[in-house]
Amino acid sequence: MSRIFITGDAGFIGFHLAKQLLALGHTVAGYDAISAYYSPRLKQSRLDLLCQSSEFSHTTGRLEDARELAGAMRTFQPDIVVHLAAQAGVRYSITNPEEYISSNIVGSATLLDVLREVPPAHLMLASTSSVYGGNVRAPFSELDTTDAPLSLYAATKRSMESLAHSFSHLHQVPTTVFRFFTVYGPWGRPDMALFKFVRAILNDEPIDIYGFGKMRRDFTYVDDLVRAILKLSQAVPAVAAPIGERDSLSKVAPFRIVNIAGGSPTELMTFVSAIEHSLGRIARKNLMPMQPGDVVSTFADTRLLHDLIGELPSTPVPEGVARFVDWYMADGVSTLDVSGVTQGRTH
């Protein structure tokens, strides 16, 4: 069994990953600021569930706090580090750029500096499909250029990727960066479309549908994502050992980038229809133009993921949406203060 350190363990994906690792018998330590970007009560509820395991420990702190972070890392001595903590959200980055620079760039650089002292056997970092930005090729391949970000969020995550590559090269730490594509599911973030749409429809409030409903997203159910991360943790990059011509393995570092997605884009209106079906209600829809920083479509090339782990995320969107709705209705989410996004860090 391994010792895994997760930054952002109180977050949506970090919570699900930690829960699955604990179920498999691993020892997990988490690090999270429990910030007010969205409901701290929701984050604390996730942590409360994780803390039921004797193999889980948590430190509350900010990534930029090198002393706190280093202390937690030295105490735990991890085999694997999974860096999920970040300031998320494309639209929030437009009005609060300093949060993204502090968390995603300064915070990530601080983590890498700390790891010079306690280098893991495998470092894994979360990036985003947003880094593909103005890329006009589809599906998005890990070998495509990512030099045209459309939002500050995307730019900061691409900067994190570059920092991680230089760290991997200088210190020979095997590093995998995974690019997520629109992850959804139970215990998700309240600022994301699924959470907002379900809440609004149940309250008979209109929902805002950007891009006039023509936008397409490569939705990825959270359990599928976690399974992919677990399998990728065993696919440790090695210098000059590519697995084929599609491999994104660096020529100068044990560093690889991998898309994690379903590989099948869904139109936003189809996504809304799945929500309506699960709720048994019809949404009142405001069709609106795209917002700054958004892209029309995301579509992942998942062949490298398949080459590495032999299994692709497969939960159909209607099934994944139904699971979210079941969780929302059964677990009393309406009693939590999850009403919106506020200023503050989410790492």
How high is the pLDDT of residue 92?
A: 80
Burial 108-146 (b: 16+ CB within 10 A, else e): bbbbbebbeeeebebbbbbbbbbbbbebeebbbbbebeb
| Contacts for 139 with CB less than 8 Å, ≥ 6 apart | 263, 299, 300, 301, 302
Q: Are 168 and 123 in contact (CB under 8 A)?
A: yes
- CA atoms of 87 and 11, how far apart (whole Å): 11
- Residue 4 bridge partners (DSSP): 28, 80
pLDDT of residue 96: 87
- As a residue count, the chain comes to 347
Instruction: Give CA torsion, residues 107, 261, 270, 186, to 10 deg.
Output: -60
Can you give the pTM of this predicted structure?
A: 0.94
- Residues of the chain where predicted confidence (pLDDT) is lower than 70: 313, 331-347
Contact 321, 278 (CB under 8 A): yes
For residue 153, indicate whether it is catalytic: yes
* DSSP strand pairing (216-217 vs 266-267): antiparallel
- CA 88/CA 93 separation, integer angstroms: 8
pLDDT at position 229 is 97
Instruction: Identify the active-site residue in 92, 153, 221, 328.
Output: 153
- b/e map 156-183, b = 16+ CB within 10 Å: bbbbbbebbbebbbeeebbbbbbbbbbb
